[in-house]
Structure 1
Amino acid sequence: MSLWPYHGAAVITGAGSGIGRALALRLAERGVNLALVDRREDRLREVRDAIEGPDHHASVHVLDLTDRAGVAALPEAVRAEHEAVSLLFNNAAVAIGGDFEEVSAEDFDWLISINFGAVVDMTRAFLPVLRRAPRARIVNLSSIFGIVAPAGQTAYAASKFAVRGFSEALRHELEGSSVGVTIVHPGGVATNIANDARINVARPTEEVERRRAAFNKHLSLPPAQAAEIILEAVGQGRDRVLVGADARVGALIQRLMPVRYWDLMKRRIG
Protein backbone atom coordinates (compact mmCIF):
# COMPACT_ATOMS: atom_id res chain seq x y z
CA MET A 1 0.00 0.00 0.00
CA SER A 2 1.79 3.15 -1.14
CA LEU A 3 -0.74 5.85 -0.25
CA TRP A 4 -2.35 5.55 3.19
CA PRO A 5 -5.48 7.71 3.01
CA TYR A 6 -6.17 8.19 6.74
CA HIS A 7 -4.35 10.90 8.67
CA GLY A 8 -5.48 10.49 12.28
CA ALA A 9 -4.76 7.95 14.97
CA ALA A 10 -6.15 4.41 14.96
CA VAL A 11 -7.99 3.01 18.00
CA ILE A 12 -7.63 -0.78 18.33
CA THR A 13 -9.49 -2.92 20.87
CA GLY A 14 -7.97 -6.24 21.85
CA ALA A 15 -4.61 -4.74 20.90
CA GLY A 16 -2.62 -6.85 23.36
CA SER A 17 -2.55 -10.05 21.32
CA GLY A 18 -3.57 -11.84 18.13
CA ILE A 19 -4.94 -9.84 15.22
CA GLY A 20 -5.13 -6.66 17.32
CA ARG A 21 -1.43 -6.79 18.12
CA ALA A 22 -0.58 -7.55 14.50
CA LEU A 23 -2.70 -4.61 13.32
CA ALA A 24 -0.83 -2.34 15.73
CA LEU A 25 2.57 -3.48 14.47
CA ARG A 26 1.57 -3.11 10.82
CA LEU A 27 0.01 0.31 11.35
CA ALA A 28 3.11 1.48 13.23
CA GLU A 29 5.18 0.53 10.19
CA ARG A 30 3.01 2.97 8.23
CA GLY A 31 3.73 5.71 10.76
CA VAL A 32 0.19 5.69 12.18
CA ASN A 33 -0.37 6.93 15.75
CA LEU A 34 -2.16 4.35 17.88
CA ALA A 35 -4.52 4.16 20.84
CA LEU A 36 -4.14 0.62 22.15
CA VAL A 37 -7.05 -0.77 24.16
CA ASP A 38 -7.09 -4.03 26.12
CA ARG A 39 -7.92 -5.24 29.62
CA ARG A 40 -4.38 -6.61 30.08
CA GLU A 41 -1.96 -3.79 30.85
CA ASP A 42 1.11 -6.03 30.61
CA ARG A 43 0.22 -7.05 27.06
CA LEU A 44 -0.49 -3.47 26.03
CA ARG A 45 2.81 -2.17 27.35
CA GLU A 46 4.69 -4.94 25.58
CA VAL A 47 3.05 -3.94 22.29
CA ARG A 48 3.63 -0.24 22.99
CA ASP A 49 7.30 -0.84 23.74
CA ALA A 50 7.66 -2.81 20.50
CA ILE A 51 6.26 -0.03 18.30
CA GLU A 52 6.92 3.30 20.00
CA GLY A 53 9.21 5.40 17.82
CA PRO A 54 10.07 8.94 16.72
CA ASP A 55 7.66 8.82 13.78
CA HIS A 56 4.56 7.75 15.69
CA HIS A 57 3.03 7.70 19.16
CA ALA A 58 1.20 4.82 20.86
CA SER A 59 -0.96 5.42 23.93
CA VAL A 60 -2.09 2.66 26.30
CA HIS A 61 -5.68 2.45 27.57
CA VAL A 62 -6.47 -0.37 30.01
CA LEU A 63 -10.18 -1.07 29.82
CA ASP A 64 -12.67 -3.88 30.33
CA LEU A 65 -15.01 -3.42 27.39
CA THR A 66 -17.99 -4.53 29.48
CA ASP A 67 -17.55 -1.26 31.44
CA ARG A 68 -19.93 0.97 29.49
CA ALA A 69 -19.03 4.08 31.47
CA GLY A 70 -15.37 3.40 30.78
CA VAL A 71 -16.04 3.01 27.06
CA ALA A 72 -18.05 6.25 27.01
CA ALA A 73 -15.12 8.08 28.65
CA LEU A 74 -12.49 6.59 26.33
CA PRO A 75 -12.72 9.16 23.49
CA GLU A 76 -11.75 11.95 25.88
CA ALA A 77 -8.76 9.94 27.10
CA VAL A 78 -7.71 9.19 23.51
CA ARG A 79 -8.10 12.83 22.42
CA ALA A 80 -5.83 13.84 25.31
CA GLU A 81 -3.10 11.76 23.62
CA HIS A 82 -3.89 12.28 19.93
CA GLU A 83 -4.95 15.32 17.94
CA ALA A 84 -7.32 13.38 15.69
CA VAL A 85 -8.76 9.89 15.23
CA SER A 86 -9.61 8.51 11.80
CA LEU A 87 -9.77 4.74 12.37
CA LEU A 88 -11.60 2.51 14.83
CA PHE A 89 -10.80 -1.20 14.83
CA ASN A 90 -13.39 -3.12 16.87
CA ASN A 91 -11.30 -6.25 17.13
CA ALA A 92 -11.65 -7.61 20.69
CA ALA A 93 -13.46 -10.94 21.03
CA VAL A 94 -13.82 -13.89 23.38
CA ALA A 95 -15.05 -17.47 23.00
CA ILE A 96 -16.90 -20.09 25.02
CA GLY A 97 -16.61 -23.84 24.76
CA GLY A 98 -19.73 -25.99 24.77
CA ASP A 99 -23.10 -26.54 23.13
CA PHE A 100 -26.00 -24.18 23.82
CA GLU A 101 -27.52 -26.34 26.58
CA GLU A 102 -24.14 -26.53 28.32
CA VAL A 103 -23.38 -22.82 28.34
CA SER A 104 -24.77 -20.84 31.26
CA ALA A 105 -26.91 -17.76 30.66
CA GLU A 106 -24.24 -15.69 32.43
CA ASP A 107 -21.46 -16.91 30.14
CA PHE A 108 -23.62 -16.44 27.05
CA ASP A 109 -24.43 -12.85 28.04
CA TRP A 110 -20.77 -12.16 28.90
CA LEU A 111 -19.67 -13.18 25.39
CA ILE A 112 -22.40 -11.13 23.71
CA SER A 113 -21.50 -8.09 25.80
CA ILE A 114 -17.91 -8.16 24.53
CA ASN A 115 -18.20 -9.50 20.99
CA PHE A 116 -21.23 -7.41 20.06
CA GLY A 117 -22.15 -4.98 22.82
CA ALA A 118 -18.67 -3.47 22.94
CA VAL A 119 -18.70 -2.99 19.15
CA VAL A 120 -21.90 -0.97 19.49
CA ASP A 121 -20.68 0.98 22.52
CA MET A 122 -17.29 1.80 20.98
CA THR A 123 -18.94 2.88 17.74
CA ARG A 124 -21.39 5.11 19.60
CA ALA A 125 -18.56 6.65 21.61
CA PHE A 126 -16.19 7.31 18.70
CA LEU A 127 -18.49 8.11 15.79
CA PRO A 128 -18.70 11.84 16.68
CA VAL A 129 -14.88 11.93 16.83
CA LEU A 130 -14.51 10.10 13.52
CA ARG A 131 -16.92 12.50 11.82
CA ARG A 132 -14.41 15.32 12.43
CA ALA A 133 -11.82 13.62 10.21
CA PRO A 134 -11.79 14.35 6.46
CA ARG A 135 -11.77 10.60 5.88
CA ALA A 136 -12.44 7.97 8.52
CA ARG A 137 -13.39 4.32 8.79
CA ILE A 138 -14.90 1.92 11.31
CA VAL A 139 -13.48 -1.59 10.94
CA ASN A 140 -15.57 -4.25 12.66
CA LEU A 141 -14.22 -7.77 12.96
CA SER A 142 -16.91 -10.37 12.52
CA SER A 143 -15.79 -13.89 11.58
CA ILE A 144 -16.46 -16.61 9.05
CA PHE A 145 -18.83 -17.63 11.86
CA GLY A 146 -20.75 -14.47 11.01
CA ILE A 147 -21.53 -16.11 7.65
CA VAL A 148 -21.80 -19.77 8.65
CA ALA A 149 -22.91 -21.08 12.05
CA PRO A 150 -21.30 -24.36 13.14
CA ALA A 151 -22.65 -26.58 15.88
CA GLY A 152 -21.08 -25.79 19.23
CA GLN A 153 -20.79 -22.07 18.41
CA THR A 154 -24.23 -20.69 19.28
CA ALA A 155 -23.03 -17.74 21.37
CA TYR A 156 -20.04 -16.90 19.19
CA ALA A 157 -21.98 -17.19 15.91
CA ALA A 158 -24.86 -15.14 17.32
CA SER A 159 -22.44 -12.36 18.27
CA LYS A 160 -20.62 -12.36 14.96
CA PHE A 161 -23.82 -12.44 12.89
CA ALA A 162 -24.94 -9.46 14.99
CA VAL A 163 -21.71 -7.61 14.22
CA ARG A 164 -22.26 -8.27 10.53
CA GLY A 165 -25.86 -7.00 10.57
CA PHE A 166 -24.98 -3.94 12.64
CA SER A 167 -22.06 -3.08 10.38
CA GLU A 168 -24.00 -3.43 7.14
CA ALA A 169 -26.90 -1.29 8.39
CA LEU A 170 -24.50 1.32 9.77
CA ARG A 171 -22.66 1.47 6.46
CA HIS A 172 -25.93 2.19 4.69
CA GLU A 173 -26.78 4.91 7.20
CA LEU A 174 -23.35 6.56 6.78
CA GLU A 175 -23.43 6.45 2.98
CA GLY A 176 -22.34 9.80 1.58
CA SER A 177 -20.55 10.83 4.79
CA SER A 178 -16.80 10.94 5.50
CA VAL A 179 -17.03 7.74 7.59
CA GLY A 180 -16.94 4.33 5.93
CA VAL A 181 -17.49 0.89 7.44
CA THR A 182 -15.52 -2.25 6.68
CA ILE A 183 -16.75 -5.63 7.91
CA VAL A 184 -14.02 -8.27 8.29
CA HIS A 185 -14.63 -12.03 8.23
CA PRO A 186 -11.45 -13.85 9.29
CA GLY A 187 -11.18 -17.59 8.98
CA GLY A 188 -8.77 -19.64 11.08
CA VAL A 189 -6.17 -17.16 12.30
CA ALA A 190 -3.51 -18.50 14.66
CA THR A 191 -4.51 -16.62 17.82
CA ASN A 192 -5.07 -17.76 21.40
CA ILE A 193 -8.86 -17.43 21.22
CA ALA A 194 -9.43 -21.18 21.60
CA ASN A 195 -6.85 -21.54 24.37
CA ASP A 196 -8.35 -18.55 26.21
CA ALA A 197 -11.96 -19.69 25.71
CA ARG A 198 -14.09 -19.84 28.84
CA ILE A 199 -14.90 -23.48 29.60
CA ASN A 200 -17.61 -24.18 32.15
CA VAL A 201 -19.24 -27.40 30.99
CA ALA A 202 -19.75 -30.78 32.62
CA ARG A 203 -17.45 -32.75 30.33
CA PRO A 204 -14.33 -34.76 31.10
CA THR A 205 -11.15 -32.69 30.90
CA GLU A 206 -9.79 -35.04 28.25
CA GLU A 207 -12.74 -34.37 25.94
CA VAL A 208 -12.49 -30.60 26.45
CA GLU A 209 -8.79 -30.67 25.56
CA ARG A 210 -9.45 -32.90 22.54
CA ARG A 211 -12.03 -30.45 21.22
CA ARG A 212 -9.72 -27.52 21.88
CA ALA A 213 -6.88 -29.22 20.02
CA ALA A 214 -9.17 -30.09 17.11
CA PHE A 215 -10.29 -26.45 16.84
CA ASN A 216 -6.72 -25.16 17.06
CA LYS A 217 -5.79 -27.32 14.06
CA HIS A 218 -7.85 -24.98 11.90
CA LEU A 219 -6.19 -21.81 13.22
CA SER A 220 -3.24 -21.61 10.86
CA LEU A 221 -3.11 -18.18 9.19
CA PRO A 222 -0.40 -16.01 10.84
CA PRO A 223 -1.87 -12.89 12.49
CA ALA A 224 0.63 -10.68 10.65
CA GLN A 225 -0.68 -11.95 7.31
CA ALA A 226 -4.28 -11.46 8.42
CA ALA A 227 -3.50 -7.90 9.50
CA GLU A 228 -1.91 -7.09 6.16
CA ILE A 229 -4.98 -8.36 4.29
CA ILE A 230 -7.23 -6.27 6.52
CA LEU A 231 -5.17 -3.10 6.14
CA GLU A 232 -4.94 -3.50 2.38
CA ALA A 233 -8.76 -3.61 2.27
CA VAL A 234 -9.08 -0.66 4.67
CA GLY A 235 -6.65 1.38 2.61
CA GLN A 236 -8.72 0.68 -0.49
CA GLY A 237 -11.95 1.59 1.30
CA ARG A 238 -13.47 -1.84 0.76
CA ASP A 239 -16.76 -2.64 2.49
CA ARG A 240 -16.09 -6.33 3.18
CA VAL A 241 -13.04 -8.55 3.34
CA LEU A 242 -12.73 -12.32 3.73
CA VAL A 243 -9.46 -13.21 5.43
CA GLY A 244 -7.95 -16.56 4.50
CA ALA A 245 -8.73 -19.32 2.03
CA ASP A 246 -10.99 -21.10 4.54
CA ALA A 247 -13.11 -17.96 4.92
CA ARG A 248 -13.45 -17.62 1.16
CA VAL A 249 -14.38 -21.29 0.77
CA GLY A 250 -16.84 -21.16 3.68
CA ALA A 251 -18.55 -18.08 2.29
CA LEU A 252 -18.82 -19.70 -1.14
CA ILE A 253 -20.32 -22.91 0.28
CA GLN A 254 -22.87 -20.90 2.25
CA ARG A 255 -23.77 -18.92 -0.86
CA LEU A 256 -24.26 -22.09 -2.91
CA MET A 257 -25.99 -24.03 -0.12
CA PRO A 258 -27.59 -21.42 2.15
CA VAL A 259 -29.57 -23.97 4.18
CA ARG A 260 -27.64 -27.23 3.87
CA TYR A 261 -24.05 -25.90 3.98
CA TRP A 262 -23.39 -27.60 7.33
CA ASP A 263 -23.85 -31.05 5.79
CA LEU A 264 -20.75 -30.40 3.69
CA MET A 265 -18.77 -28.26 6.12
CA LYS A 266 -18.93 -30.62 9.09
CA ARG A 267 -17.07 -33.21 7.03
CA ARG A 268 -14.36 -30.65 6.19
CA ILE A 269 -14.08 -29.42 9.77
CA GLY A 270 -14.23 -32.86 11.34
Structure 2
Amino acid sequence: MQLNDKVAVLTGAGSGIGRALALALAERGCHLALADINAAALAETAQQARAVGVRASEHVLDVAKREQIAALPQAVMAEHGQVDLLINNAGVALGGDFHQVSEADFDWLMAINFDAVVCMTRAFLPLLKQRPVARLVNISSLFGLITPAGQSAYCASKFAVRGFSNALRLELRGSPVGVTVVHPGGVATSIATSARLADDISKQDAARNLERAQRLLRMPPSKAAAIILRGIERDKARVLVGNDARLLAWLERLMPTNYWRLLPGLAREPERQP
Protein backbone atom coordinates (compact mmCIF):
# COMPACT_ATOMS: atom_id res chain seq x y z
CA MET A 1 0.00 0.00 0.00
CA GLN A 2 1.37 3.37 -1.02
CA LEU A 3 0.61 5.98 1.64
CA ASN A 4 1.36 9.19 -0.22
CA ASP A 5 -1.76 11.32 -0.73
CA LYS A 6 -3.96 8.77 1.06
CA VAL A 7 -6.23 9.55 4.02
CA ALA A 8 -5.81 7.72 7.33
CA VAL A 9 -8.18 7.69 10.30
CA LEU A 10 -6.23 7.14 13.52
CA THR A 11 -7.59 6.77 17.05
CA GLY A 12 -5.53 7.40 20.16
CA ALA A 13 -3.54 9.98 18.22
CA GLY A 14 -2.74 12.23 21.16
CA SER A 15 0.25 10.37 22.54
CA GLY A 16 2.46 7.29 22.45
CA ILE A 17 2.30 5.01 19.43
CA GLY A 18 -0.67 7.00 18.09
CA ARG A 19 1.24 10.27 17.89
CA ALA A 20 4.29 8.51 16.46
CA LEU A 21 2.12 6.87 13.78
CA ALA A 22 0.52 10.20 12.91
CA LEU A 23 3.89 11.88 12.39
CA ALA A 24 5.33 8.93 10.46
CA LEU A 25 2.27 8.90 8.20
CA ALA A 26 2.63 12.65 7.65
CA GLU A 27 6.25 12.14 6.64
CA ARG A 28 4.99 9.75 3.96
CA GLY A 29 2.54 12.36 2.65
CA CYS A 30 -0.56 10.75 4.14
CA HIS A 31 -3.38 13.08 5.18
CA LEU A 32 -4.84 12.48 8.61
CA ALA A 33 -8.14 12.37 10.45
CA LEU A 34 -6.88 12.26 14.02
CA ALA A 35 -9.06 11.20 16.95
CA ASP A 36 -8.41 11.25 20.69
CA ILE A 37 -10.32 11.93 23.89
CA ASN A 38 -7.72 14.50 24.99
CA ALA A 39 -8.35 17.65 22.96
CA ALA A 40 -5.11 19.40 23.95
CA ALA A 41 -2.90 16.41 23.12
CA LEU A 42 -4.82 15.88 19.88
CA ALA A 43 -4.26 19.49 18.83
CA GLU A 44 -0.53 19.16 19.48
CA THR A 45 -0.27 16.05 17.32
CA ALA A 46 -2.26 17.71 14.53
CA GLN A 47 -0.09 20.82 14.65
CA GLN A 48 3.07 18.74 14.32
CA ALA A 49 1.58 16.81 11.41
CA ARG A 50 0.51 19.96 9.58
CA ALA A 51 4.04 21.31 9.91
CA VAL A 52 5.13 18.46 7.64
CA GLY A 53 2.70 19.68 4.98
CA VAL A 54 -0.31 17.35 5.14
CA ARG A 55 -3.94 17.99 5.99
CA ALA A 56 -4.80 16.94 9.54
CA SER A 57 -8.29 17.23 10.94
CA GLU A 58 -8.98 16.94 14.67
CA HIS A 59 -11.83 14.88 16.07
CA VAL A 60 -12.29 14.80 19.83
CA LEU A 61 -13.64 11.31 20.38
CA ASP A 62 -14.47 9.02 23.28
CA VAL A 63 -14.28 5.61 21.60
CA ALA A 64 -16.43 4.14 24.37
CA LYS A 65 -19.36 6.25 23.12
CA ARG A 66 -21.00 4.50 20.18
CA GLU A 67 -22.95 7.57 19.13
CA GLN A 68 -19.70 9.52 18.76
CA ILE A 69 -18.19 6.80 16.60
CA ALA A 70 -21.34 6.66 14.46
CA ALA A 71 -21.03 10.39 13.73
CA LEU A 72 -17.32 10.27 12.89
CA PRO A 73 -17.42 9.01 9.26
CA GLN A 74 -19.56 11.94 8.13
CA ALA A 75 -17.21 14.40 9.84
CA VAL A 76 -14.16 12.78 8.26
CA MET A 77 -15.69 12.70 4.79
CA ALA A 78 -16.62 16.37 5.09
CA GLU A 79 -12.96 17.16 5.74
CA HIS A 80 -11.21 14.71 3.42
CA GLY A 81 -13.67 13.15 0.97
CA GLN A 82 -12.21 9.64 1.28
CA VAL A 83 -10.79 7.10 3.74
CA ASP A 84 -8.03 4.71 2.67
CA LEU A 85 -6.66 3.54 5.99
CA LEU A 86 -8.19 2.99 9.43
CA ILE A 87 -5.88 2.40 12.40
CA ASN A 88 -7.65 1.38 15.60
CA ASN A 89 -4.97 2.31 18.11
CA ALA A 90 -6.78 3.75 21.16
CA GLY A 91 -6.42 1.59 24.25
CA VAL A 92 -6.24 1.50 28.04
CA ALA A 93 -4.81 -0.86 30.66
CA LEU A 94 -6.20 -2.30 33.87
CA GLY A 95 -4.10 -4.03 36.52
CA GLY A 96 -5.36 -6.70 38.90
CA ASP A 97 -6.32 -10.35 39.10
CA PHE A 98 -9.80 -11.21 37.84
CA HIS A 99 -11.23 -11.51 41.36
CA GLN A 100 -9.88 -8.04 42.21
CA VAL A 101 -11.21 -6.24 39.14
CA SER A 102 -14.72 -4.88 39.40
CA GLU A 103 -17.33 -5.66 36.76
CA ALA A 104 -17.51 -1.95 35.91
CA ASP A 105 -13.76 -1.68 35.36
CA PHE A 106 -13.67 -4.85 33.27
CA ASP A 107 -16.50 -3.54 31.07
CA TRP A 108 -14.80 -0.12 30.82
CA LEU A 109 -11.64 -1.70 29.44
CA MET A 110 -13.48 -3.98 27.00
CA ALA A 111 -15.53 -1.05 25.69
CA ILE A 112 -12.39 0.87 24.76
CA ASN A 113 -10.00 -1.91 23.76
CA PHE A 114 -12.36 -4.20 21.86
CA ASP A 115 -15.90 -2.89 21.41
CA ALA A 116 -14.55 0.36 19.95
CA VAL A 117 -12.49 -1.60 17.40
CA VAL A 118 -15.65 -3.37 16.26
CA CYS A 119 -17.69 -0.15 16.17
CA MET A 120 -15.01 1.79 14.28
CA THR A 121 -14.72 -1.06 11.79
CA ARG A 122 -18.47 -1.15 11.28
CA ALA A 123 -18.56 2.62 10.81
CA PHE A 124 -15.70 2.90 8.32
CA LEU A 125 -15.68 -0.40 6.42
CA PRO A 126 -18.22 0.82 3.82
CA LEU A 127 -15.95 3.79 3.05
CA LEU A 128 -12.84 1.61 2.89
CA LYS A 129 -14.57 -0.70 0.41
CA GLN A 130 -15.12 2.24 -1.94
CA ARG A 131 -11.36 2.70 -2.44
CA PRO A 132 -9.26 0.77 -4.99
CA VAL A 133 -6.89 -0.30 -2.21
CA ALA A 134 -7.55 0.14 1.50
CA ARG A 135 -6.42 -1.31 4.81
CA LEU A 136 -7.78 -1.82 8.30
CA VAL A 137 -5.12 -1.96 11.02
CA ASN A 138 -5.96 -3.09 14.55
CA ILE A 139 -3.46 -2.68 17.35
CA SER A 140 -3.47 -5.71 19.63
CA SER A 141 -0.54 -6.29 22.01
CA LEU A 142 2.16 -8.66 23.14
CA PHE A 143 -0.57 -9.62 25.61
CA GLY A 144 -2.65 -10.71 22.65
CA LEU A 145 -0.04 -13.47 22.28
CA ILE A 146 0.79 -14.40 25.87
CA THR A 147 -1.19 -14.21 29.11
CA PRO A 148 0.63 -13.05 32.26
CA ALA A 149 -1.11 -13.14 35.62
CA GLY A 150 -2.71 -9.89 36.68
CA GLN A 151 -3.73 -9.03 33.13
CA SER A 152 -6.86 -11.10 32.58
CA ALA A 153 -8.96 -8.14 31.43
CA TYR A 154 -6.30 -6.65 29.16
CA CYS A 155 -5.44 -10.03 27.65
CA ALA A 156 -9.11 -10.78 27.03
CA SER A 157 -9.46 -7.55 25.07
CA LYS A 158 -6.28 -7.95 23.05
CA PHE A 159 -6.91 -11.60 22.20
CA ALA A 160 -10.38 -10.50 21.08
CA VAL A 161 -8.83 -7.90 18.77
CA ARG A 162 -6.55 -10.58 17.37
CA GLY A 163 -9.37 -13.06 16.74
CA PHE A 164 -11.67 -10.45 15.25
CA SER A 165 -8.95 -9.21 12.91
CA ASN A 166 -7.96 -12.67 11.73
CA ALA A 167 -11.53 -13.74 10.99
CA LEU A 168 -12.35 -10.44 9.28
CA ARG A 169 -9.30 -10.79 7.05
CA LEU A 170 -10.67 -14.05 5.66
CA GLU A 171 -14.14 -12.57 5.24
CA LEU A 172 -12.72 -9.67 3.22
CA ARG A 173 -10.74 -11.78 0.78
CA GLY A 174 -11.49 -10.59 -2.73
CA SER A 175 -12.37 -7.09 -1.53
CA PRO A 176 -10.09 -4.03 -1.74
CA VAL A 177 -9.64 -4.06 2.06
CA GLY A 178 -6.71 -5.81 3.69
CA VAL A 179 -6.50 -6.40 7.43
CA THR A 180 -3.39 -6.12 9.59
CA VAL A 181 -3.19 -7.00 13.28
CA VAL A 182 -0.26 -5.50 15.22
CA HIS A 183 1.34 -6.93 18.35
CA PRO A 184 3.64 -4.34 19.95
CA GLY A 185 6.03 -5.56 22.61
CA GLY A 186 7.54 -3.25 25.19
CA VAL A 187 7.06 0.22 23.72
CA ALA A 188 7.91 3.19 25.96
CA THR A 189 4.49 4.82 26.25
CA SER A 190 2.48 6.03 29.25
CA ILE A 191 0.10 3.06 29.22
CA ALA A 192 1.60 1.59 32.40
CA THR A 193 1.61 4.82 34.38
CA SER A 194 -1.92 5.71 33.26
CA ALA A 195 -3.35 2.23 33.86
CA ARG A 196 -6.37 1.87 36.11
CA LEU A 197 -5.80 -0.42 39.11
CA ALA A 198 -8.20 -2.63 41.00
CA ASP A 199 -9.28 -1.02 44.27
CA ASP A 200 -7.79 -3.62 46.61
CA ILE A 201 -4.29 -3.69 45.11
CA SER A 202 -1.88 -2.47 47.77
CA LYS A 203 0.37 0.50 47.10
CA GLN A 204 3.37 -1.81 47.46
CA ASP A 205 2.08 -4.26 44.86
CA ALA A 206 1.11 -1.40 42.53
CA ALA A 207 4.59 0.12 42.76
CA ARG A 208 6.23 -3.26 42.17
CA ASN A 209 4.04 -3.97 39.15
CA LEU A 210 4.73 -0.52 37.69
CA GLU A 211 8.48 -0.95 38.15
CA ARG A 212 8.35 -4.32 36.41
CA ALA A 213 6.30 -2.89 33.54
CA GLN A 214 8.62 0.09 33.10
CA ARG A 215 11.62 -2.22 32.76
CA LEU A 216 9.91 -3.93 29.84
CA LEU A 217 8.83 -0.74 28.03
CA ARG A 218 11.99 0.23 26.16
CA MET A 219 11.33 0.71 22.44
CA PRO A 220 10.80 4.36 21.36
CA PRO A 221 7.31 4.90 19.90
CA SER A 222 8.88 6.31 16.73
CA LYS A 223 10.65 3.00 16.08
CA ALA A 224 7.43 1.07 16.73
CA ALA A 225 5.59 3.33 14.28
CA ALA A 226 8.22 2.75 11.60
CA ILE A 227 7.86 -1.03 11.96
CA ILE A 228 4.07 -0.82 11.81
CA LEU A 229 4.06 1.36 8.69
CA ARG A 230 6.52 -0.94 6.92
CA GLY A 231 4.10 -3.75 7.62
CA ILE A 232 1.22 -1.73 6.20
CA GLU A 233 3.19 -0.83 3.08
CA ARG A 234 4.01 -4.50 2.57
CA ASP A 235 0.38 -5.61 3.12
CA LYS A 236 1.37 -7.81 6.04
CA ALA A 237 -1.36 -9.71 7.85
CA ARG A 238 0.49 -9.63 11.17
CA VAL A 239 3.16 -7.28 12.49
CA LEU A 240 5.25 -8.19 15.52
CA VAL A 241 6.86 -5.08 16.98
CA GLY A 242 10.13 -5.73 18.79
CA ASN A 243 12.39 -8.67 19.51
CA ASP A 244 10.37 -9.45 22.63
CA ALA A 245 7.17 -9.87 20.61
CA ARG A 246 8.92 -12.04 18.01
CA LEU A 247 10.58 -14.23 20.65
CA LEU A 248 7.49 -14.68 22.76
CA ALA A 249 5.28 -15.40 19.75
CA TRP A 250 7.67 -18.22 18.86
CA LEU A 251 7.88 -19.43 22.46
CA GLU A 252 4.11 -19.50 22.87
CA ARG A 253 3.77 -21.65 19.76
CA LEU A 254 6.49 -24.00 21.03
CA MET A 255 5.17 -24.24 24.62
CA PRO A 256 1.56 -23.01 24.50
CA THR A 257 0.74 -23.76 28.15
CA ASN A 258 4.15 -23.74 29.86
CA TYR A 259 6.05 -20.86 28.27
CA TRP A 260 5.56 -18.78 31.43
CA ARG A 261 8.04 -21.06 33.26
CA LEU A 262 10.80 -19.48 31.19
CA LEU A 263 9.67 -15.89 31.83
CA PRO A 264 10.58 -14.87 35.38
CA GLY A 265 10.32 -11.21 34.39
CA LEU A 266 6.67 -11.61 33.40
CA ALA A 267 5.35 -14.59 35.34
CA ARG A 268 4.43 -13.80 38.91
CA GLU A 269 5.51 -16.30 41.53
CA PRO A 270 2.55 -18.30 42.85
CA GLU A 271 1.31 -17.35 46.28
CA ARG A 272 2.36 -19.74 49.04
CA GLN A 273 -0.51 -21.40 50.83
CA PRO A 274 -0.42 -21.30 54.65
How much does 1:159 deviate? 0.3
1:92 aligned to which of 90, 93, 103? 90
Q: How is 1:105-124 mapped onto 2 (pairs within 5 angstroms)? A: 105-124=103-122
Q: Normalising by structure 2, what TM-score? A: 0.95
| Residue of structure 2 equivalent to 1:205 | 203
Q: Distance in 2 between matches of 1:131 and 1:8?
A: 14
How much does 1:53 deviate? 3.9
1:182 partner SS = strand
| Residue of structure 2 equivalent to 1:219 | 217
Q: Distance in 2 between matches of 1:117 and 1:78?
A: 21
Q: Distance in 1 between matches of 2:258 and 2:132?
A: 45
1:23-45 CA deviation, whole Å, 9 max, x = no partner?
00000001110011000000000
Q: What's the % identity of the aligned pairs?
A: 55
Alignment partner of 1:269 is 2:266: yes
1:147 aligned to which of 135, 145, 148? 145
The answer on whether the counterparts of 2:135 and 2:180 sit within 8 Å (CA) in structure 1 is yes
Q: Distance in 2 between matches of 1:5 and 1:108?
A: 36
How large is the Cα RMSD of the aligned pairs? 1.3
The answer on whether the counterparts of 2:26 and 2:49 sit within 8 Å (CA) in structure 1 is yes
How much does 1:152 deviate? 0.5
| Residue of structure 2 equivalent to 1:177 | 175
The answer on whether the counterparts of 1:6 and 1:87 sit within 8 Å (CA) in structure 2 is no
| Residue of structure 2 equivalent to 1:59 | 57
| Residue of structure 2 equivalent to 1:8 | 6
Q: Distance in 1 between matches of 2:18 and 2:175?
A: 26
1:81 partner SS = helix
The farther-off stretch of 145-154 and 194-203 is 194-203
1:80 partner SS = helix
Count of residues paired in the alignment:
267
How much does 1:56 deviate? 1.2
1:60 partner SS = strand
List runs of 5+ in structure 1 lacking aligned partners: none
The farther-off stretch of 203-212 and 185-194 is 203-212
Letter of the structure 2 residue corresponding to residue 21 of structure 1: R
The answer on whether the counterparts of 2:26 and 2:52 sit within 8 Å (CA) in structure 1 is no
How much does 1:135 deviate? 0.4
List runs of 5+ in structure 2 lacking aligned partners: 268-274
1:47 aligned to which of 45, 50, 53? 45
Q: Normalising by structure 1, what TM-score? A: 0.96
Q: Distance in 2 between matches of 1:53 and 1:43?
A: 16
